[in-house]
Amino acid sequence: MQSIKQAILLHNPGAGDEDHLESELVTAIEQAGYSCVYFSVAHDDRWIQQLDQADFVVVAGGDGTVRGVVKELVKRNVLERKIPLTILPMGTANNLSMALGIDRALEREQHIEKWATSKRQRFDVGVLKNMDSTDFFLEGAGYGVFPQLIQKMIDVDKSQVENTDEELKLALEVLHQIILTAPAEKYWIKADEQIYQGKCLLLEVINIPSVGPRLLLCPEAITDDGQFNIVYVDENQRADFAAYIKKRINHEEVLFEYHSFKSRHLTLICESKHMHIDDQLVLPLKDAVTMEVRDYVLEFMVPAHNPS
């Protein structure tokens, strides 16, 4: 691939880690032969004006930080050049980096070393709209137990949590309790002239294999096939779904048979009081929601061995 020289490093620092981590990251990138400029996305948006000076964007953070950066990229004119992104995974779930074959277990220097031989991976984006608003998603949008989990985790005591594995386990424990008691909500979907309807605990329109606390909903989902995977759990699956989550809490390698189908465009109505778009809790959109795939909006640098 063409030689890449100039990196723009975008980072969402946690309390107390900005100065030393900024220095470590910039030094590691420069030692690999790139020039690098750093911006904290938490503090200002000057990086937006610097994008066209960069050969590629490095997002150091989790799924929410990637979404924040992409939110600005999707505003760019379609005639402007695509600027490839890569991820230094530093979040809790890191669902996006997993979908792109970027191994969160590697050291930062190992990630940086792979950039020189990386390939470009196309990435479709989901667009959802109703009468009043338009939004986008990278991971997925949905109703039911996942947005309830996002809401619950805001107030859960995390004082005893020491690492991301413990935080993921805590999230699964909270999800298990939600599944046991959550009401099943009516849904209606029209996709490819077919109608799907019933009452569900979970309804997700996803763009990548996993969402939430690394919950694998659709192993076959890929980032550039021009289709969503629509996944749902009916009321009659409640006990099996709860048992599956319990096994995940106990670190058992198990799979769950979700109901699913594919579609490029769909119209959806769900009576759930809870909705999310990626990792953000939102008020459910009024009226029917339409969702459609926008092809090849983004381009990521991924390890060359990535089979997708």
Model pLDDT for residues 226-244, shown as the tens digit of each residue: 999 999 999 999 999 999 9
Instruction: Judge whether 245 and 180 are in contact, CB under 8 Å.
Output: no
What pLDDT shows up at residue 287?
87
What pLDDT shows up at residue 20?
63
Instruction: Judge whether 229 and 217 are in contact, CB under 8 Å.
Output: yes
pTM of the model: 0.93
Model pLDDT for residues 44-67, shown as the tens digit of each residue: 889 999 998 999 999 999 999 999
Does pLDDT of 308 surpass 80? no
Q: Which segment of 3-17, 77-91, 154-168, 188-202 scores lowest on mean pLDDT?
A: 3-17
Beta strands in 12-163 (DSSP E): 35-40, 56-61, 85-89, 119-129, 134-137, 140-144
Q: What is the dihedral of CA 208, 211, 213, 218, to 10 degrees?
A: -60
Model pLDDT for residues 253-290, shown as the tens digit of each residue: 899 999 999 999 999 999 999 999 999 999 888 889 99
Which domains are delineated in the chain? Answer: 6-117 (3.40.50.10330), 127-296 (2.60.200.40)
Instruction: Judge whether 130 and 290 are in contact, CB under 8 Å.
Output: yes
